[in-house]
Structure 1
Amino acid sequence: MKLSQIYSILGLEFSGDDMEIVSLSSLALAKRAQMSYCDSSKNTKYLPDCQAGAILVTKEMVEMVNGRAVVVDNPHLAFAILSKHFAKALIRDFKPSNIDESVTIMPNVYIGNGVSIGKNCLIMPGAYIGDDVKIGNDCIIHPNVTIYADSIIGNECIINANSVIGSDGFGYAHTKTGEHIKIYHNGWVILEDCVEIGACTTIDRGVFEPTIVRKYSKIDNLVQVGHNCEIGYGSILVSQVGLAGSTKLGRNVIMGGQSGTAGHLSIGDFAKIAGRGGVSKNLEGGKEYGGYPIMELKEWFKTQARFLREFGSKKIAKR
């Protein structure tokens, strides 16, 4: 798409040299033929090194981008509007698939264009495998699993019934009058080798980059993994865990049932989060945590004991 067309979509007046913009990308990853955006002062640190050919910024940031500024009131909203125009096609041109002859495909399975499936896999009834998906050797895809386009599944993975891999992330920009404008996610999901996904679990694809589940991780039923998350090697997520976007788990992190995280934070290697723990800040590895606000588990137990001593006795006395 020409830069002049982008100006037109955003209702801006174009002048200067035109150029072709092939896609949108982050400030850190963008190349010359791509467009990026900066929506807050905390991200201006990335502007000097950004290689994007055009960058959506506010007027206060113009001098930081050396003539590549596309000035808008709300860069995040402008990016959301443009994301629809750069979204990948839901139906793609035909490409032959490469499915090993040892694969067992049961009735009512849909396989898209350009799919690759390795040796000795079992694809059970009702599964949907989108365009350009890659599945390694010895995988089991249980009934009614949906694997969206571009997802990459390693060797010896198990995906249980009704799970969804690679769905669009939950991201919106907001207008002044309260409308929510969808951000189309063009990333993908990577499940590395020996990953198991429980039933009815959803893993969203990233905005520009992949959501990644590292080797030997095990995810229970009814877990939500947001866009651009990274789940470290050998981690375990118990039922009803929820990870907000861009959460990073180190290796062998364990999260108990119904625990969850806010977005854009990190949990260190070998940390353990007790059931229903609410993670709202970065956590050091090698420790056990619980409660909300999150704290070390032994402190949480002490806090609960103090609470019961103070308020539990008063409640009994009142009765």
Structure 2
Amino acid sequence: MSSSITLQKLAELVGGDLAVGAPEAVITGLNSIVDAGPGDITFLGNTRYLSALKTTRAAAALVPADLDGIEAPAGLALIRVANPTFAFSSVIRWFGPPSLEFAPGVHSTAVVASSVVFDAQTVSIGPHVVVEDGVTLGEGTILHAGVYIGRGARLGADCVVHANTVIKDRCVIGNRVIIHSGTVIGTDGFGYELVKGRHQKIEQVGIVQIDDDVEIGSCSTIDRARFGRTWIGEGTKIDNLVQIAHNCVVGKHCIIVAQVGVSGSTRLGDNVTLGGQVGVVGHLELGDGVMVLAKSAVTKSLPAAGAYVGYPARPLMEGRKMMALPARIPDLIDRLRELEKKVAALEGGGAKA
């Protein structure tokens, strides 16, 4: 953790241009636009916060390089960068706590089978970890306390598996994969057949394959395939509390937000985004670049890139219109009653005549 930095050094740290402010001025902390105070640096990651920037008490702010006409308080230093949100990560690393270091080696309470292949000079195996027969661990991989690795599983280099995570038999994990606490990789898929009035289990003998640079949040589950593989593509990021069912294929660089459920044998293309609490029916295909907004239900394949919303999910504008219709029902009922009264009055007048 560092206590201070000059504006000039800070601009160099984030790869930006000090557009306003004295290079020798000192920054001593960081905070949000709303909560920042004297000596703090903040950032403008979204133009919806432009009004907050006008009243911030921060000493400096990272702002988009392509944003003109910024109205800011007198004395607020501005550092222009290509991507303020991403650049602010460097600021966090400067002022934040130091990264925890995990010494290579095997903790005395860990249980590691004799057939496990790993380099004890680079791999860190924490307290109460269990690593079963036939496992391979790549260089620099860290297993935190209480992790379980099943028979024949393979983990690549520089993976981080957080406490109490389970990776079951024969699953294949790529390089630089991060799996957060409580997640289970490779549990049986949910497969049953109704035979003579009883649900009979269908054996699930496939694997889960997770490619390089994937990150999976806490308490998520990715089921093994019935046969073949459930496959998570390179660079995909999965939030907490997500369920990916058996034989699903998730493409590269997808974003899957919390409480999403994807049913079995569904295929997601590359760069697909599923918002919070989206549900996807099984055996569907979502094309590259599909974005499904929060709380939507996908009941049929969506091959074309674009945004979808609703229950069932429809193209964005159509879906929004359908979602707005129920709010008009009380007004429509009132209008219908008025029409009924007018019709009744006309019919009554006609009868008297």
* Length-normalised TM-score, structure 1: 0.68
Residue identity in the other structure for 1:127 = V
- Once the two structures are superposed, the pairs formed by residues 182-261 of structure 1 within 5 Å of their partners are 182-261=201-280
Q: Which has the higher contact order (CA 8 A, sep 6+)?
A: 1
Report the equivalent of 1:277. 296
Gaps in structure 2 of 5+ consecutive residues: 1-112, 338-353
Structure with greater Cα Rg: 2
Aligned residues: 224
2:286 aligned to which of 267, 272, 289? 267
**Does the residue aligned with 2:134 lie in a helix, a strand or coil?**
coil
In 2, Cα distance between the equivalents of 1:162 and 1:282?
Answer: 31
CA contact (8 A) 2:310 2:323 kept: no
Identity %: 42
Unmatched tracts of structure 1, length 5 or more: 1-93
Q: CA deviation at 1:300?
A: 1.2
1:152 and 2:172 aligned:
yes
Deviations 1:190-229 (A, max 9, x none): 0000000000000000011010000000000000000000
Match of 2:146 in 1: 126
Is the contact between residue 238 and residue 256 of structure 2 (CA under 8 Å) also seen in structure 1? yes
The partner residue of 2:156 within 124, 127, 136 is 136
Matched to 1:248, the amino acid is R
2:115 to 85, 96, 107: 96
Structure 2 counterpart SS, 1:98: coil
Shift of the alpha carbon at 1:293? 1.6
The one-letter code matched in structure 2 to 1:240 is Q
User: How far 1:284 sits from its partner (Å)?
Assistant: 1.9
Secondary structure, aligned partner of 1:299: helix
CA RMSD of aligned residues (A): 1.8
Quick one: distance in 2 between partners of 1:254 and 1:135? Answer: 26
Matched ranges for 1:19-58 at <5 A: none
Whether 2:309 is the aligned partner of 1:290: answer: yes
